[in-house]
Structure 1
Amino acid sequence: MDDMNMMISVAQRTLVAGTPLLLGTIGEIICERSGILNLGVEGVMAVGAVSAFIVTLHTGNPWLGLGVAIAAGMLVSIIHAFASISLQSNQVVSGLALTMLGLGMAGLLGKPYVGKPLAVKIDDLTIPYLSDIPVVGPIFFKQSPFFYLAILLAIAAWFVLEYTLLGIRIRSTGENPQATETQGVNVSLVRYLAVIVGGGFSAMAGAHLSISYSNSWIEGMTAGRGWIVIALTIFALWNPMRAIVGAFLFGGIFVLQYLLQPLGISPNFLAMLPYLATLLVLLVGGLRDRRRLNAPAMLGEPYRRGER
Protein backbone atom coordinates (compact mmCIF):
# COMPACT_ATOMS: atom_id res chain seq x y z
CA MET A 1 0.00 0.00 0.00
CA ASP A 2 2.83 2.41 0.80
CA ASP A 3 4.43 1.69 -2.59
CA MET A 4 1.12 2.31 -4.35
CA ASN A 5 0.59 5.59 -2.51
CA MET A 6 4.11 6.62 -3.47
CA MET A 7 3.45 5.85 -7.14
CA ILE A 8 0.20 7.81 -7.07
CA SER A 9 1.94 10.76 -5.40
CA VAL A 10 4.76 10.77 -7.96
CA ALA A 11 2.28 10.60 -10.85
CA GLN A 12 0.24 13.48 -9.39
CA ARG A 13 3.33 15.63 -8.95
CA THR A 14 4.47 14.78 -12.48
CA LEU A 15 1.24 16.15 -13.94
CA VAL A 16 1.51 19.25 -11.75
CA ALA A 17 5.11 19.88 -12.84
CA GLY A 18 4.28 19.32 -16.49
CA THR A 19 1.28 21.65 -16.63
CA PRO A 20 3.17 24.97 -16.93
CA LEU A 21 5.52 23.37 -19.45
CA LEU A 22 2.57 22.34 -21.60
CA LEU A 23 0.94 25.77 -21.44
CA GLY A 24 4.18 27.51 -22.41
CA THR A 25 4.91 25.01 -25.19
CA ILE A 26 1.49 25.48 -26.80
CA GLY A 27 2.12 29.22 -26.98
CA GLU A 28 5.63 28.80 -28.37
CA ILE A 29 4.39 26.34 -31.02
CA ILE A 30 1.78 28.84 -32.22
CA CYS A 31 4.40 31.57 -32.30
CA GLU A 32 7.04 29.54 -34.13
CA ARG A 33 4.59 28.05 -36.62
CA SER A 34 4.05 31.62 -37.80
CA GLY A 35 7.79 32.00 -38.38
CA ILE A 36 8.71 34.02 -35.28
CA LEU A 37 11.28 32.62 -32.85
CA ASN A 38 10.58 33.82 -29.32
CA LEU A 39 13.33 33.24 -26.77
CA GLY A 40 11.55 35.50 -24.32
CA VAL A 41 9.32 32.79 -22.87
CA GLU A 42 11.11 32.79 -19.52
CA GLY A 43 10.63 36.52 -19.12
CA VAL A 44 6.96 36.44 -20.10
CA MET A 45 6.35 33.57 -17.67
CA ALA A 46 7.93 35.65 -14.90
CA VAL A 47 5.73 38.64 -15.74
CA GLY A 48 2.65 36.42 -15.68
CA ALA A 49 3.66 34.89 -12.36
CA VAL A 50 4.24 38.19 -10.57
CA SER A 51 1.13 39.84 -12.06
CA ALA A 52 -1.12 36.97 -11.03
CA PHE A 53 0.33 36.88 -7.52
CA ILE A 54 0.06 40.61 -6.83
CA VAL A 55 -3.51 40.90 -8.12
CA THR A 56 -4.61 37.77 -6.25
CA LEU A 57 -3.00 38.97 -3.02
CA HIS A 58 -4.73 42.36 -3.14
CA THR A 59 -8.13 41.27 -4.46
CA GLY A 60 -8.50 37.75 -3.09
CA ASN A 61 -9.65 36.67 -6.56
CA PRO A 62 -7.16 34.28 -8.25
CA TRP A 63 -9.21 34.14 -11.45
CA LEU A 64 -8.90 37.91 -11.77
CA GLY A 65 -5.19 37.45 -11.15
CA LEU A 66 -5.05 34.94 -14.00
CA GLY A 67 -6.83 37.34 -16.34
CA VAL A 68 -4.47 40.20 -15.51
CA ALA A 69 -1.48 37.88 -15.94
CA ILE A 70 -2.60 36.87 -19.43
CA ALA A 71 -3.14 40.52 -20.37
CA ALA A 72 0.28 41.47 -19.01
CA GLY A 73 1.95 38.63 -20.93
CA MET A 74 0.30 39.73 -24.14
CA LEU A 75 1.32 43.34 -23.61
CA VAL A 76 5.01 42.61 -23.04
CA SER A 77 4.98 40.21 -26.01
CA ILE A 78 4.03 43.12 -28.25
CA ILE A 79 7.57 44.43 -27.66
CA HIS A 80 9.06 41.32 -29.24
CA ALA A 81 6.46 41.35 -32.03
CA PHE A 82 7.21 44.99 -32.88
CA ALA A 83 10.98 44.45 -32.86
CA SER A 84 10.83 41.21 -34.87
CA ILE A 85 8.04 41.99 -37.34
CA SER A 86 7.86 45.76 -37.79
CA LEU A 87 11.56 46.52 -37.31
CA GLN A 88 12.83 43.18 -38.73
CA SER A 89 15.44 43.04 -35.98
CA ASN A 90 17.33 39.91 -34.94
CA GLN A 91 14.75 37.67 -33.28
CA VAL A 92 17.30 35.95 -31.05
CA VAL A 93 18.52 39.25 -29.62
CA SER A 94 14.97 40.57 -29.22
CA GLY A 95 13.86 37.41 -27.42
CA LEU A 96 16.81 37.44 -25.06
CA ALA A 97 16.14 41.09 -24.31
CA LEU A 98 12.52 40.24 -23.52
CA THR A 99 13.67 37.54 -21.11
CA MET A 100 15.95 39.96 -19.28
CA LEU A 101 13.22 42.61 -19.21
CA GLY A 102 10.61 40.20 -17.87
CA LEU A 103 12.86 38.75 -15.20
CA GLY A 104 13.91 42.23 -14.16
CA MET A 105 10.31 43.43 -13.92
CA ALA A 106 9.30 40.37 -11.92
CA GLY A 107 12.20 40.83 -9.54
CA LEU A 108 11.45 44.51 -9.03
CA LEU A 109 7.68 44.23 -8.66
CA GLY A 110 7.82 41.07 -6.60
CA LYS A 111 10.50 42.13 -4.14
CA PRO A 112 8.05 43.62 -1.56
CA TYR A 113 6.03 40.39 -1.67
CA VAL A 114 8.78 37.84 -1.06
CA GLY A 115 7.57 35.31 1.50
CA LYS A 116 4.05 36.71 1.72
CA PRO A 117 1.41 33.96 1.55
CA LEU A 118 -1.82 34.08 -0.44
CA ALA A 119 -5.03 33.90 1.56
CA VAL A 120 -6.69 32.13 -1.37
CA LYS A 121 -5.38 30.35 -4.45
CA ILE A 122 -6.74 28.12 -7.21
CA ASP A 123 -7.13 24.78 -5.48
CA ASP A 124 -7.31 21.33 -7.01
CA LEU A 125 -10.56 20.35 -8.66
CA THR A 126 -12.03 17.02 -7.60
CA ILE A 127 -14.29 15.51 -10.26
CA PRO A 128 -17.15 13.57 -8.65
CA TYR A 129 -17.27 9.81 -9.19
CA LEU A 130 -14.26 9.77 -11.52
CA SER A 131 -11.96 10.74 -8.67
CA ASP A 132 -13.08 7.63 -6.79
CA ILE A 133 -11.67 5.26 -9.42
CA PRO A 134 -8.75 3.35 -7.85
CA VAL A 135 -5.29 4.62 -8.85
CA VAL A 136 -6.46 6.49 -11.96
CA GLY A 137 -8.94 8.69 -10.11
CA PRO A 138 -6.52 10.37 -7.66
CA ILE A 139 -3.97 10.91 -10.45
CA PHE A 140 -6.09 12.41 -13.21
CA PHE A 141 -9.27 13.62 -11.55
CA LYS A 142 -7.91 15.48 -8.51
CA GLN A 143 -5.85 18.09 -10.29
CA SER A 144 -5.59 21.84 -10.64
CA PRO A 145 -8.01 23.45 -13.13
CA PHE A 146 -4.86 24.54 -14.97
CA PHE A 147 -4.16 20.88 -15.82
CA TYR A 148 -7.55 20.36 -17.48
CA LEU A 149 -7.31 23.76 -19.16
CA ALA A 150 -3.86 22.92 -20.55
CA ILE A 151 -5.07 19.63 -22.04
CA LEU A 152 -8.13 21.26 -23.62
CA LEU A 153 -6.07 24.15 -25.02
CA ALA A 154 -3.49 21.76 -26.49
CA ILE A 155 -6.22 19.84 -28.31
CA ALA A 156 -7.84 23.10 -29.45
CA ALA A 157 -4.52 24.49 -30.70
CA TRP A 158 -3.83 21.29 -32.64
CA PHE A 159 -7.28 21.40 -34.25
CA VAL A 160 -6.99 25.09 -35.16
CA LEU A 161 -3.51 24.72 -36.66
CA GLU A 162 -4.35 21.62 -38.67
CA TYR A 163 -7.97 22.01 -39.71
CA THR A 164 -8.99 25.66 -39.85
CA LEU A 165 -8.37 28.54 -42.22
CA LEU A 166 -6.69 30.51 -39.44
CA GLY A 167 -4.34 27.59 -38.78
CA ILE A 168 -3.48 27.31 -42.46
CA ARG A 169 -2.63 31.01 -42.54
CA ILE A 170 -0.44 30.72 -39.44
CA ARG A 171 1.44 27.74 -40.87
CA SER A 172 1.79 29.27 -44.31
CA THR A 173 3.27 32.50 -42.93
CA GLY A 174 5.94 30.36 -41.28
CA GLU A 175 6.61 28.30 -44.39
CA ASN A 176 6.20 30.71 -47.31
CA PRO A 177 5.12 34.24 -46.43
CA GLN A 178 5.56 35.42 -50.03
CA ALA A 179 3.00 32.93 -51.33
CA THR A 180 0.73 33.68 -48.39
CA GLU A 181 0.80 37.38 -49.17
CA THR A 182 -0.29 36.73 -52.76
CA GLN A 183 -3.47 35.17 -51.35
CA GLY A 184 -4.40 38.46 -49.74
CA VAL A 185 -3.27 37.51 -46.24
CA ASN A 186 -1.67 40.17 -44.06
CA VAL A 187 1.46 38.28 -42.99
CA SER A 188 2.48 40.86 -40.40
CA LEU A 189 -0.94 40.80 -38.75
CA VAL A 190 -0.96 37.00 -38.54
CA ARG A 191 2.51 37.00 -36.99
CA TYR A 192 1.59 39.73 -34.52
CA LEU A 193 -1.44 37.74 -33.39
CA ALA A 194 0.61 34.54 -33.07
CA VAL A 195 3.26 36.22 -30.91
CA ILE A 196 0.67 37.94 -28.70
CA VAL A 197 -1.36 34.75 -28.21
CA GLY A 198 1.85 32.87 -27.47
CA GLY A 199 2.66 35.45 -24.82
CA GLY A 200 -0.73 34.89 -23.23
CA PHE A 201 -0.03 31.16 -22.95
CA SER A 202 3.39 31.77 -21.41
CA ALA A 203 1.90 34.18 -18.88
CA MET A 204 -0.75 31.59 -18.03
CA ALA A 205 2.06 29.12 -17.33
CA GLY A 206 3.67 31.63 -14.98
CA ALA A 207 0.35 32.29 -13.25
CA HIS A 208 -0.01 28.56 -12.57
CA LEU A 209 3.26 28.65 -10.64
CA SER A 210 2.30 31.58 -8.41
CA ILE A 211 -1.42 31.10 -7.72
CA SER A 212 -1.91 27.34 -7.98
CA TYR A 213 1.36 25.45 -7.60
CA SER A 214 2.59 27.73 -4.80
CA ASN A 215 0.89 30.05 -2.34
CA SER A 216 3.76 32.47 -1.69
CA TRP A 217 6.06 34.53 -3.87
CA ILE A 218 9.73 33.67 -4.30
CA GLU A 219 12.25 35.21 -6.66
CA GLY A 220 13.21 33.06 -9.60
CA MET A 221 9.93 31.15 -9.43
CA THR A 222 10.08 30.21 -13.12
CA ALA A 223 13.43 28.45 -12.52
CA GLY A 224 14.39 28.09 -16.18
CA ARG A 225 11.13 26.52 -17.30
CA GLY A 226 10.91 28.97 -20.19
CA TRP A 227 14.08 27.53 -21.70
CA ILE A 228 12.76 23.99 -21.36
CA VAL A 229 9.61 25.14 -23.16
CA ILE A 230 11.71 26.17 -26.15
CA ALA A 231 13.40 22.76 -26.20
CA LEU A 232 10.03 21.02 -25.82
CA THR A 233 8.74 22.87 -28.87
CA ILE A 234 11.45 21.19 -30.92
CA PHE A 235 10.88 17.83 -29.22
CA ALA A 236 7.17 18.07 -30.05
CA LEU A 237 8.00 18.78 -33.71
CA TRP A 238 5.81 21.87 -33.48
CA ASN A 239 2.73 19.71 -32.80
CA PRO A 240 0.56 20.56 -29.75
CA MET A 241 -0.56 16.94 -29.34
CA ARG A 242 3.03 15.73 -29.09
CA ALA A 243 3.62 18.56 -26.64
CA ILE A 244 1.25 16.89 -24.17
CA VAL A 245 3.49 13.82 -24.01
CA GLY A 246 6.70 15.86 -23.91
CA ALA A 247 5.54 18.24 -21.20
CA PHE A 248 4.57 15.51 -18.77
CA LEU A 249 7.68 13.52 -19.62
CA PHE A 250 9.78 16.47 -18.56
CA GLY A 251 7.48 17.06 -15.61
CA GLY A 252 8.49 13.59 -14.47
CA ILE A 253 12.13 14.53 -14.83
CA PHE A 254 11.54 17.55 -12.57
CA VAL A 255 9.98 15.27 -9.96
CA LEU A 256 12.87 12.82 -10.34
CA GLN A 257 15.24 15.49 -9.05
CA TYR A 258 13.53 15.47 -5.65
CA LEU A 259 13.29 11.69 -5.52
CA LEU A 260 17.04 11.32 -6.09
CA GLN A 261 18.17 14.00 -3.63
CA PRO A 262 18.02 11.68 -0.57
CA LEU A 263 20.52 9.41 -2.33
CA GLY A 264 23.22 12.05 -1.94
CA ILE A 265 23.46 12.94 -5.64
CA SER A 266 24.75 16.45 -6.32
CA PRO A 267 21.86 18.97 -6.56
CA ASN A 268 23.70 20.72 -9.37
CA PHE A 269 23.74 17.52 -11.40
CA LEU A 270 20.06 16.90 -10.69
CA ALA A 271 19.23 20.41 -11.88
CA MET A 272 20.85 19.54 -15.21
CA LEU A 273 18.62 16.49 -15.78
CA PRO A 274 15.86 18.23 -17.80
CA TYR A 275 18.42 19.77 -20.14
CA LEU A 276 20.41 16.56 -20.50
CA ALA A 277 17.19 14.72 -21.26
CA THR A 278 16.33 17.32 -23.89
CA LEU A 279 19.64 16.80 -25.70
CA LEU A 280 19.31 13.01 -25.50
CA VAL A 281 15.75 12.93 -26.84
CA LEU A 282 16.59 15.27 -29.73
CA LEU A 283 19.68 13.24 -30.59
CA VAL A 284 17.81 9.93 -30.62
CA GLY A 285 14.87 11.42 -32.51
CA GLY A 286 17.15 12.97 -35.11
CA LEU A 287 19.03 9.72 -35.68
CA ARG A 288 15.82 7.71 -36.07
CA ASP A 289 14.10 9.99 -38.56
CA ARG A 290 15.90 13.12 -39.62
CA ARG A 291 13.24 14.11 -42.15
CA ARG A 292 10.58 14.65 -39.50
CA LEU A 293 12.65 17.12 -37.49
CA ASN A 294 11.85 20.11 -39.71
CA ALA A 295 11.24 23.55 -38.32
CA PRO A 296 9.01 26.02 -40.17
CA ALA A 297 11.01 27.06 -43.23
CA MET A 298 11.06 30.79 -42.39
CA LEU A 299 11.49 30.44 -38.63
CA GLY A 300 13.58 33.33 -37.34
CA GLU A 301 13.72 35.03 -40.74
CA PRO A 302 12.46 38.62 -41.09
CA TYR A 303 9.94 39.34 -43.84
CA ARG A 304 9.24 42.62 -45.56
CA ARG A 305 5.87 43.06 -47.17
CA GLY A 306 6.08 43.02 -50.95
CA GLU A 307 9.41 41.18 -51.09
CA ARG A 308 9.90 38.49 -53.71
Structure 2
Amino acid sequence: MSNATPPGWYPDTAAPGNERWWDGTAWTAHTRSCVTVIQPSAPGRGGGGSGATAARTLALVATGMALVVVAVAGVMLLDRGDGAEPAATRTDQSAPSPADTGDGAPGDDGPSPDPTAGGEDPGVLVDQLNGITLPIPDGWERVEHPTDEMLTMRTVDSEAYYCPGTSSAMCYHGTVTIRTAGGADPATPEAIARKDVVAAADRAYEEDIIGRPIHGGIMSHRQIAAGPVSVAGRTGYQVRWRVVTGKGPGGYVQSLVFPSAVGSESPVVVRYAFDAGSGGVPLALMDTLTQGIRPLGDSETGGGVGSSVAP
Protein backbone atom coordinates (compact mmCIF):
# COMPACT_ATOMS: atom_id res chain seq x y z
CA MET A 1 0.00 0.00 0.00
CA SER A 2 3.03 2.32 0.32
CA ASN A 3 3.00 2.83 -3.45
CA ALA A 4 -0.75 3.63 -3.63
CA THR A 5 -1.81 7.07 -4.74
CA PRO A 6 -3.21 8.93 -1.71
CA PRO A 7 -6.84 10.13 -1.68
CA GLY A 8 -7.36 13.55 -3.25
CA TRP A 9 -8.69 15.64 -6.13
CA TYR A 10 -7.16 14.81 -9.54
CA PRO A 11 -7.81 15.98 -13.11
CA ASP A 12 -10.83 14.21 -14.60
CA THR A 13 -9.75 12.94 -18.00
CA ALA A 14 -13.39 12.36 -18.93
CA ALA A 15 -14.33 15.99 -18.25
CA PRO A 16 -11.53 18.49 -19.01
CA GLY A 17 -11.54 21.43 -16.62
CA ASN A 18 -12.94 19.37 -13.74
CA GLU A 19 -11.43 17.31 -10.93
CA ARG A 20 -12.69 13.98 -9.57
CA TRP A 21 -12.20 12.57 -6.05
CA TRP A 22 -9.88 9.53 -5.75
CA ASP A 23 -10.57 7.75 -2.42
CA GLY A 24 -7.26 5.89 -2.43
CA THR A 25 -8.76 2.81 -4.06
CA ALA A 26 -11.14 3.90 -6.80
CA TRP A 27 -12.68 6.98 -8.45
CA THR A 28 -15.84 8.32 -6.82
CA ALA A 29 -18.81 10.19 -8.32
CA HIS A 30 -17.79 13.48 -6.72
CA THR A 31 -16.44 16.17 -9.07
CA ARG A 32 -15.63 19.89 -8.92
CA SER A 33 -14.22 22.61 -11.17
CA CYS A 34 -10.44 22.92 -11.19
CA VAL A 35 -9.40 25.50 -8.61
CA THR A 36 -5.61 25.06 -8.51
CA VAL A 37 -2.95 26.07 -10.98
CA ILE A 38 -0.64 23.02 -10.55
CA GLN A 39 -2.32 19.63 -10.53
CA PRO A 40 -0.73 16.23 -9.80
CA SER A 41 -0.80 13.55 -12.42
CA ALA A 42 -4.02 11.55 -12.29
CA PRO A 43 -3.86 7.82 -11.50
CA GLY A 44 -5.16 5.38 -14.07
CA ARG A 45 -8.93 5.06 -14.05
CA GLY A 46 -8.58 1.32 -13.47
CA GLY A 47 -6.48 1.23 -10.29
CA GLY A 48 -4.34 2.95 -7.72
CA GLY A 49 -1.39 4.06 -9.90
CA SER A 50 2.35 3.25 -9.72
CA GLY A 51 4.97 4.22 -7.18
CA ALA A 52 6.52 6.65 -9.67
CA THR A 53 3.18 8.40 -10.11
CA ALA A 54 2.78 8.72 -6.34
CA ALA A 55 6.26 10.20 -6.02
CA ARG A 56 5.58 12.81 -8.70
CA THR A 57 2.27 13.64 -7.04
CA LEU A 58 3.78 14.14 -3.59
CA ALA A 59 6.58 16.29 -5.01
CA LEU A 60 4.13 18.64 -6.78
CA VAL A 61 1.61 19.21 -4.04
CA ALA A 62 4.02 19.12 -1.05
CA THR A 63 2.60 20.58 2.14
CA GLY A 64 -0.79 21.46 0.62
CA MET A 65 -1.54 17.83 -0.32
CA ALA A 66 -0.41 16.64 3.10
CA LEU A 67 -3.01 18.89 4.71
CA VAL A 68 -5.70 17.60 2.33
CA VAL A 69 -4.82 14.00 3.16
CA VAL A 70 -5.11 14.67 6.91
CA ALA A 71 -8.46 16.44 6.53
CA VAL A 72 -9.96 13.77 4.29
CA ALA A 73 -8.69 10.96 6.50
CA GLY A 74 -10.49 12.57 9.44
CA VAL A 75 -13.72 12.82 7.49
CA MET A 76 -13.49 9.20 6.36
CA LEU A 77 -12.96 8.01 9.93
CA LEU A 78 -16.07 9.89 11.04
CA ASP A 79 -18.16 8.62 8.11
CA ARG A 80 -20.73 6.19 9.44
CA GLY A 81 -21.33 4.60 6.07
CA ASP A 82 -24.80 6.15 5.69
CA GLY A 83 -24.10 7.22 2.13
CA ALA A 84 -23.60 10.92 3.02
CA GLU A 85 -21.11 12.83 0.94
CA PRO A 86 -17.91 13.91 2.76
CA ALA A 87 -18.23 17.42 4.20
CA ALA A 88 -15.28 18.68 2.21
CA THR A 89 -16.91 17.51 -1.00
CA ARG A 90 -20.27 19.07 -0.16
CA THR A 91 -18.61 22.43 0.51
CA ASP A 92 -16.68 22.38 -2.75
CA GLN A 93 -19.74 21.48 -4.79
CA SER A 94 -22.06 24.00 -3.16
CA ALA A 95 -19.71 26.96 -3.51
CA PRO A 96 -19.99 28.71 -6.91
CA SER A 97 -16.91 28.66 -9.07
CA PRO A 98 -15.36 31.82 -10.57
CA ALA A 99 -16.97 30.89 -13.89
CA ASP A 100 -20.40 30.91 -12.24
CA THR A 101 -20.04 34.27 -10.51
CA GLY A 102 -17.89 36.20 -12.94
CA ASP A 103 -15.83 37.48 -10.00
CA GLY A 104 -12.46 36.91 -11.66
CA ALA A 105 -9.57 34.54 -11.01
CA PRO A 106 -9.69 31.72 -8.41
CA GLY A 107 -9.08 33.08 -4.93
CA ASP A 108 -10.52 36.51 -5.81
CA ASP A 109 -13.48 37.20 -3.51
CA GLY A 110 -14.70 40.04 -5.73
CA PRO A 111 -16.12 43.35 -4.53
CA SER A 112 -17.71 43.70 -1.11
CA PRO A 113 -21.51 43.41 -1.00
CA ASP A 114 -23.30 46.72 -1.55
CA PRO A 115 -25.72 47.37 1.36
CA THR A 116 -27.78 49.60 -0.94
CA ALA A 117 -28.02 47.03 -3.75
CA GLY A 118 -31.30 47.39 -5.56
CA GLY A 119 -30.96 51.17 -5.80
CA GLU A 120 -32.57 51.99 -2.43
CA ASP A 121 -30.74 54.60 -0.37
CA PRO A 122 -30.62 53.59 3.34
CA GLY A 123 -31.27 57.26 4.21
CA VAL A 124 -34.50 57.44 2.22
CA LEU A 125 -37.93 55.87 2.67
CA VAL A 126 -39.12 54.90 -0.82
CA ASP A 127 -42.80 54.59 -1.72
CA GLN A 128 -42.74 52.90 -5.12
CA LEU A 129 -46.54 52.74 -5.33
CA ASN A 130 -47.04 56.49 -5.05
CA GLY A 131 -43.76 57.53 -6.64
CA ILE A 132 -42.35 59.51 -3.69
CA THR A 133 -39.49 59.41 -1.19
CA LEU A 134 -39.08 60.76 2.34
CA PRO A 135 -35.75 61.41 4.06
CA ILE A 136 -35.06 59.17 7.06
CA PRO A 137 -33.76 61.36 9.93
CA ASP A 138 -30.72 60.51 12.02
CA GLY A 139 -31.76 58.17 14.82
CA TRP A 140 -34.67 56.78 12.77
CA GLU A 141 -35.04 53.61 10.70
CA ARG A 142 -37.47 52.04 8.26
CA VAL A 143 -39.64 49.21 9.60
CA GLU A 144 -39.14 46.19 7.38
CA HIS A 145 -42.33 44.35 8.35
CA PRO A 146 -44.85 46.78 9.86
CA THR A 147 -47.81 45.12 11.58
CA ASP A 148 -50.35 47.48 9.98
CA GLU A 149 -48.89 46.92 6.47
CA MET A 150 -48.28 50.65 5.94
CA LEU A 151 -44.88 51.89 4.81
CA THR A 152 -43.34 53.00 8.10
CA MET A 153 -40.28 54.64 9.62
CA ARG A 154 -39.74 55.39 13.30
CA THR A 155 -37.17 56.16 15.95
CA VAL A 156 -34.71 53.30 16.43
CA ASP A 157 -35.64 50.22 18.46
CA SER A 158 -33.02 51.04 21.09
CA GLU A 159 -35.14 54.05 22.11
CA ALA A 160 -38.43 52.15 22.33
CA TYR A 161 -40.18 52.15 25.72
CA TYR A 162 -43.18 50.58 27.44
CA CYS A 163 -46.21 52.72 26.71
CA PRO A 164 -47.47 54.61 29.79
CA GLY A 165 -50.33 52.67 31.37
CA THR A 166 -49.18 49.24 30.18
CA SER A 167 -46.26 46.89 30.72
CA SER A 168 -46.67 44.95 27.49
CA ALA A 169 -47.09 47.41 24.60
CA MET A 170 -44.01 49.11 23.16
CA CYS A 171 -44.11 52.76 22.05
CA TYR A 172 -41.76 54.91 19.99
CA HIS A 173 -41.00 58.61 20.34
CA GLY A 174 -41.64 59.23 16.64
CA THR A 175 -43.45 57.36 13.87
CA VAL A 176 -44.31 58.26 10.26
CA THR A 177 -46.49 56.08 8.01
CA ILE A 178 -47.61 56.33 4.37
CA ARG A 179 -50.74 54.88 2.81
CA THR A 180 -52.88 55.44 -0.26
CA ALA A 181 -56.39 56.74 0.37
CA GLY A 182 -59.08 54.18 -0.41
CA GLY A 183 -62.65 54.29 -1.63
CA ALA A 184 -64.01 54.82 1.88
CA ASP A 185 -62.07 58.07 2.26
CA PRO A 186 -63.61 61.46 1.45
CA ALA A 187 -62.97 63.05 -1.93
CA THR A 188 -60.75 66.07 -1.16
CA PRO A 189 -57.33 66.25 0.54
CA GLU A 190 -58.77 68.52 3.27
CA ALA A 191 -61.64 66.15 4.06
CA ILE A 192 -59.31 63.14 4.10
CA ALA A 193 -56.82 64.90 6.40
CA ARG A 194 -59.51 65.98 8.87
CA LYS A 195 -60.87 62.44 9.08
CA ASP A 196 -57.50 60.72 9.20
CA VAL A 197 -56.06 62.85 12.02
CA VAL A 198 -58.68 61.33 14.34
CA ALA A 199 -57.47 57.83 13.45
CA ALA A 200 -53.85 58.99 13.78
CA ALA A 201 -54.47 60.20 17.32
CA ASP A 202 -56.29 57.03 18.35
CA ARG A 203 -53.59 54.79 16.89
CA ALA A 204 -50.73 56.69 18.55
CA TYR A 205 -52.19 57.54 21.96
CA GLU A 206 -55.45 55.61 22.60
CA GLU A 207 -54.99 51.94 21.61
CA ASP A 208 -52.30 50.00 19.79
CA ILE A 209 -53.05 47.92 16.71
CA ILE A 210 -54.24 44.91 18.75
CA GLY A 211 -56.50 46.96 21.01
CA ARG A 212 -54.32 47.36 24.10
CA PRO A 213 -54.90 50.71 25.88
CA ILE A 214 -51.82 52.96 25.86
CA HIS A 215 -50.84 56.31 27.41
CA GLY A 216 -53.88 56.16 29.65
CA GLY A 217 -56.07 57.12 26.69
CA ILE A 218 -56.70 60.52 25.10
CA MET A 219 -58.12 63.06 27.55
CA SER A 220 -58.37 66.00 25.15
CA HIS A 221 -56.94 67.49 21.97
CA ARG A 222 -56.69 70.84 20.23
CA GLN A 223 -55.95 71.74 16.65
CA ILE A 224 -52.75 73.75 16.37
CA ALA A 225 -52.38 73.93 12.58
CA ALA A 226 -54.43 73.29 9.45
CA GLY A 227 -54.28 74.46 5.87
CA PRO A 228 -52.97 73.95 2.34
CA VAL A 229 -49.35 72.93 1.87
CA SER A 230 -47.11 72.36 -1.15
CA VAL A 231 -45.71 68.82 -1.29
CA ALA A 232 -43.32 67.73 -4.07
CA GLY A 233 -44.75 70.43 -6.34
CA ARG A 234 -48.37 69.50 -5.62
CA THR A 235 -50.96 71.14 -3.44
CA GLY A 236 -52.07 69.16 -0.42
CA TYR A 237 -53.62 69.75 2.97
CA GLN A 238 -52.48 69.06 6.53
CA VAL A 239 -54.11 69.02 9.97
CA ARG A 240 -52.07 68.93 13.20
CA TRP A 241 -53.31 68.20 16.74
CA ARG A 242 -51.80 68.45 20.21
CA VAL A 243 -53.01 65.44 22.19
CA VAL A 244 -53.24 65.29 26.01
CA THR A 245 -53.20 61.78 27.48
CA GLY A 246 -54.12 60.26 30.84
CA LYS A 247 -50.53 59.10 31.40
CA GLY A 248 -47.28 60.47 30.06
CA PRO A 249 -46.67 63.74 28.21
CA GLY A 250 -48.96 63.05 25.26
CA GLY A 251 -47.85 64.22 21.86
CA TYR A 252 -48.56 65.64 18.43
CA VAL A 253 -50.26 63.97 15.46
CA GLN A 254 -50.57 65.22 11.91
CA SER A 255 -52.25 63.97 8.75
CA LEU A 256 -50.86 65.26 5.45
CA VAL A 257 -52.72 64.47 2.22
CA PHE A 258 -51.66 65.27 -1.35
CA PRO A 259 -52.03 63.77 -4.88
CA SER A 260 -49.75 60.88 -5.80
CA ALA A 261 -46.97 61.64 -8.26
CA VAL A 262 -47.88 58.68 -10.48
CA GLY A 263 -50.82 56.88 -12.07
CA SER A 264 -54.28 58.21 -11.32
CA GLU A 265 -52.87 60.61 -8.71
CA SER A 266 -54.76 58.94 -5.88
CA PRO A 267 -54.43 60.85 -2.58
CA VAL A 268 -51.41 59.91 -0.46
CA VAL A 269 -51.79 60.07 3.32
CA VAL A 270 -48.64 60.70 5.39
CA ARG A 271 -49.35 60.32 9.11
CA TYR A 272 -47.03 61.71 11.80
CA ALA A 273 -47.02 60.92 15.55
CA PHE A 274 -44.39 62.63 17.77
CA ASP A 275 -44.18 62.36 21.55
CA ALA A 276 -44.12 65.61 23.51
CA GLY A 277 -41.95 66.26 26.57
CA SER A 278 -38.20 66.04 27.13
CA GLY A 279 -37.88 62.60 25.52
CA GLY A 280 -39.97 63.46 22.48
CA VAL A 281 -39.13 64.49 18.94
CA PRO A 282 -38.84 68.19 17.97
CA LEU A 283 -42.11 69.32 16.41
CA ALA A 284 -40.21 71.21 13.71
CA LEU A 285 -39.14 67.86 12.24
CA MET A 286 -42.68 67.40 10.89
CA ASP A 287 -42.21 70.40 8.59
CA THR A 288 -38.67 69.32 7.69
CA LEU A 289 -39.90 65.89 6.61
CA THR A 290 -42.79 67.36 4.63
CA GLN A 291 -40.39 69.66 2.79
CA GLY A 292 -38.11 66.67 2.11
CA ILE A 293 -40.78 64.67 0.24
CA ARG A 294 -39.67 64.29 -3.38
CA PRO A 295 -40.97 62.59 -6.53
CA LEU A 296 -39.25 59.24 -7.06
CA GLY A 297 -36.21 59.72 -9.27
CA ASP A 298 -35.70 63.37 -8.31
CA SER A 299 -31.96 64.02 -8.30
CA GLU A 300 -32.25 65.65 -4.89
CA THR A 301 -33.23 62.32 -3.31
CA GLY A 302 -29.85 60.74 -4.03
CA GLY A 303 -26.65 60.83 -2.08
CA GLY A 304 -27.88 60.03 1.38
CA VAL A 305 -30.59 62.60 1.90
CA GLY A 306 -31.52 61.20 5.29
CA SER A 307 -28.05 61.80 6.70
CA SER A 308 -28.60 65.55 6.51
CA VAL A 309 -31.94 65.51 8.36
CA ALA A 310 -31.50 65.74 12.13
CA PRO A 311 -34.35 65.22 14.61
Indicate the TM-score class for this superposition, using the shorter chain for normalisation.
under 0.3
Report the structure, 1 or 2, having the larger helix content.
1
Q: Highest relative contact order (Cα 8 Å, sep 6+), 1 or 2?
A: 1
Normalising by structure 1, report the TM-score: 0.27
Whichever structure has more strand as a proportion of its residues is: 2
